[in-house]
Structure 1
């Protein structure tokens, strides 16, 4: 069946957006504050401005396309993020921003044609540095917006090359001022990044809560020496200690067979990283995640119990540099009901579910009523160039988001 013009416009714009930072294997590489990120932000500015939205950047580079219909009223914010992981997928985050833009533009036309005014204003948002691959922490832009992270601290954060967030935003012309528009509520749609919806042939996920997580920056301290001449018994190899931590994280995950536990070591920085030097220091990022807070606590204790054993075996010292954690956190139950009602009215199959990954909505739900929606990810692939969501699911998600945002703008969730 031939897509309708509205759906065709969504797909065409998605392909245009996917050209920024496109990789040869069909993914994208546009980390926060890089040239491709600046290019796509300029594209979004033009897209929104040409349709009557006023575009501004705030003090941390969050991009807002605002439609003021009720002077002085707060805004329904709707969006996600455009930045990607290195050699990441086209859909992660970017789909949510584009879906928000199309939903907002559709509603602007409908309201104009009907000659009516909603209760709240409307703003599309592209959050800065959700991925956290170049600058840490992740979800930086929404953390500053929600007051969880100081703006000056965030702006002073450096990447591995020593470039600050402030410098990156200035280079891309995306450093603004102020705190952005006042939010009345928030909505976000995202690819699932898992395989539940795809395997169940369900179109929409209604997110009702997060998984719990503990994230650690660990530093393994050893002693630098010669890889050839230093006898094995004398070595204090930080890489060996780090390797034991990687294995320990997986072994702990494998110990939980009834309730899932996800563990990983996603980043490792080695010093001096020379082929003929035993490493003196390794910095790594290790995280534990579970839908059950008791399982997470048990796994966390198991991890810390392994530290002395690893230190003795590798003759190293393990330092816990920083830690970030959260429990199982619920989304607004009335928001879930609102989204479910909208999905039923549109005839879209749906199910309640949790989100394992973090999203900007996990920050926003702590300050305003928030609705989080998923569409399927084929085979559950994400943070990978093979990431894929079917066009019909993309378009169905935009239809649902439009209906949800319409109800939010009319005050159905906030009264």
Structure 2
């Protein structure tokens, strides 16, 4: 552990207190009170160390270190929002590591400037889709549509940001970014299983995500004849089973398919009423695009069968996704060289989960790093990364950031 490792861990303990849960996690959804409190704390932390703190119109928070006037920025960061009753490390580790790494370099002179970012609403649990703030930043999501997005309680993004003072001007634009770096917990157990300290992310899995509405007809749970029922919850249940069946049927050792159905809402959700409507999220992920396309085709084909058998209508209310996307080989090699220089074990690894780096990659040279997750647990209050691995990751990120600031793989 480097000399300032204890300071990093102490700051992380403070950060983990915002929205802390009884079982050791955090409950800090985007623009919640707990998220707003940690956002304010992080802004003060940055300002106290000489960063200029600014925000853009979608609530992304930046800490700028301009040492070369007019030069582009190397951007580094992640997100501070969490899943409901999620883990302390997901996203937050990457933001604080970015801030400490940039602060370590504050006294050095480089051709490129440094900027730390806390992306707004990466998790997408309150406002959908996920990777929200970075999607607006890169043009993948329209700003107006993003500001008009509402949470399940009807609260509008733009209104909540205005109420908490989280928008502004003066933030860097995509055109002013020379490179991007992000470090994150793996959220899997490949690094732990292989005894590797650092993951060099070389590509992202492809994904297709759907917002589905299952439309039936409300009726009495007791008196309605079974043959007359149009039960939206039955249709939704069959979609849950279908998602798992696709994975079981199509996955191979070389080309796995991960599928899931998540957040579900049932109307009218009464104990004596057959559901008239169910809404849910379904996603498919694979490192093999042809396999993903086959799974997607089978999904659509079999949805029609569910509509007939359950006597419901299934509507795709929204969808988004991405293909297999390699990260720049030069960045992977650079990060490997930094890890070698520190004597840290490492391996190349894909990312199954989406991250803000997925949105930045393709626009600017992007380096993505992982540190191990104990037992692969994530989006769970038991999520954990050891102090030693967290500090090792910070050291690698610092070395990567130093070389990016020197312009070694700059896109500008």
Q: Give the match for residue 16 of structure 2.
A: 18
Is 142-151 or 85-94 further displaced after alignment?
A: 142-151
Residue 328 (1) aligns with residue 324 (2): yes
Task: Give the Cα separation in 1 of the matches to 2:308 and 2:18.
Answer: 49
Is 234-243 or 291-300 further displaced after alignment?
A: 291-300
Q: Give the match for residue 291 of structure 1.
A: 287
In structure 2, relative to structure 1, the CA distance for the partners of 1:12 and 1:50 (3 Å cut) is same
SS where residue 162 of structure 1 aligns?
coil
Residue 205 (1) aligns with residue 203 (2): no
Q: Give the match for residue 340 of structure 2.
A: 344
Tell whether the 8 Å contact from 2:29 to 2:84 is kept in structure 1 after alignment.
yes
Question: How far 1:257 moved relative to its partner?
Answer: 3.3
Cα deviation code 1:80-114 (max 9, x no counterpart): 000000000000000000000100001113x1xxx
SS where residue 259 of structure 2 aligns?
strand
Is 373-382 or 298-307 further displaced after alignment?
A: 298-307
SS where residue 130 of structure 1 aligns?
coil
SS where residue 89 of structure 2 aligns?
coil
The list of structure 1 runs, each at least 4 consecutive aligned residues, that deviate by more than 6 angstroms after superposition, is none
Among 368, 384, 405, the alignment partner of 1:372 is 368
Tell whether the 8 Å contact from 1:90 to 1:387 is kept in structure 2 after alignment.
yes
In structure 2, relative to structure 1, the CA distance for the partners of 1:65 and 1:178 (3 Å cut) is closer
TM-score by length of 1: 0.96
Structure 1: unaligned runs, 5 residues or longer: 112-116
Among 273, 283, 287, the alignment partner of 1:277 is 273
Task: Give the Cα separation in 2 of the matches to 1:400 and 1:315.
Answer: 56
Q: Give the match for residue 163 of structure 1.
A: 155
Tell whether the 8 Å contact from 1:82 to 1:126 is kept in structure 2 after alignment.
yes
Superposition CA RMSD, Å: 1.1
The 5-angstrom pairing of residues 174-193 of structure 1 reads: 174-177=166-169, 180-181=172-173, 182-193=176-187
Kindly tell me the number of residue pairs found equivalent between the two proteins: 407
Task: Give the Cα separation in 2 of the matches to 1:14 and 1:89.
Answer: 13
Question: How far 1:180 moved relative to its partner?
Answer: 2.9
TM-score by length of 2: 0.97
Task: Give the Cα separation in 1 of the matches to 2:238 and 2:402.
Answer: 52
Tell whether the 8 Å contact from 1:38 to 1:173 is kept in structure 2 after alignment.
no
Question: How far 1:27 moved relative to its partner?
Answer: 0.3
Among 239, 252, 261, the alignment partner of 1:257 is 252
Task: Give the Cα separation in 2 of the matches to 1:135 and 1:25.
Answer: 25
Structure 2: unaligned runs, 5 residues or longer: none
Tell whether the 8 Å contact from 2:235 to 2:310 is kept in structure 1 after alignment.
yes
In structure 2, relative to structure 1, the CA distance for the partners of 1:178 and 1:224 (3 Å cut) is farther
SS where residue 320 of structure 2 aligns?
strand
Question: How far 1:325 moved relative to its partner?
Answer: 2.1
Question: How far 1:169 moved relative to its partner?
Answer: 1.2
Cα deviation code 1:193-230 (max 9, x no counterpart): 00100111100000011001111111111001111211
Task: Give the Cα separation in 1 of the matches to 2:269 and 2:163.
Answer: 30
SS where residue 270 of structure 1 aligns?
strand
SS where residue 108 of structure 1 aligns?
coil
Cα deviation code 1:101-137 (max 9, x no counterpart): 100001113x1xxxxx201010110000000000011
Residue 242 (1) aligns with residue 240 (2): no
Question: How far 1:179 moved relative to its partner?
Answer: 5.2
Task: Give the Cα separation in 2 of the matches to 1:88 and 1:166.
Answer: 25
Tell whether the 8 Å contact from 1:211 to 1:327 is kept in structure 2 after alignment.
yes
Task: Give the Cα separation in 1 of the matches to 2:389 and 2:49.
Answer: 25
Tell whether the 8 Å contact from 2:54 to 2:170 is kept in structure 1 after alignment.
no
Task: Give the Cα separation in 1 of the matches to 2:2 and 2:92.
Answer: 22
Q: Give the match for residue 114 of structure 1.
A: none
Q: Give the match for residue 60 of structure 1.
A: 58
Is 154-163 or 306-315 further displaced after alignment?
A: 306-315
Tell whether the 8 Å contact from 1:59 to 1:178 is kept in structure 2 after alignment.
no
Tell whether the 8 Å contact from 2:214 to 2:314 is kept in structure 1 after alignment.
yes
Is 190-199 or 299-308 further displaced after alignment?
A: 299-308
Question: How far 1:178 moved relative to its partner?
Answer: 5.4
Residue 69 (1) aligns with residue 67 (2): yes
Tell whether the 8 Å contact from 2:62 to 2:171 is kept in structure 1 after alignment.
no
In structure 2, relative to structure 1, the CA distance for the partners of 1:179 and 1:147 (3 Å cut) is farther
Tell whether the 8 Å contact from 1:145 to 1:179 is kept in structure 2 after alignment.
no
Question: How far 1:282 moved relative to its partner?
Answer: 0.8
Tell whether the 8 Å contact from 1:75 to 1:122 is kept in structure 2 after alignment.
yes
Question: How far 1:328 moved relative to its partner?
Answer: 0.6
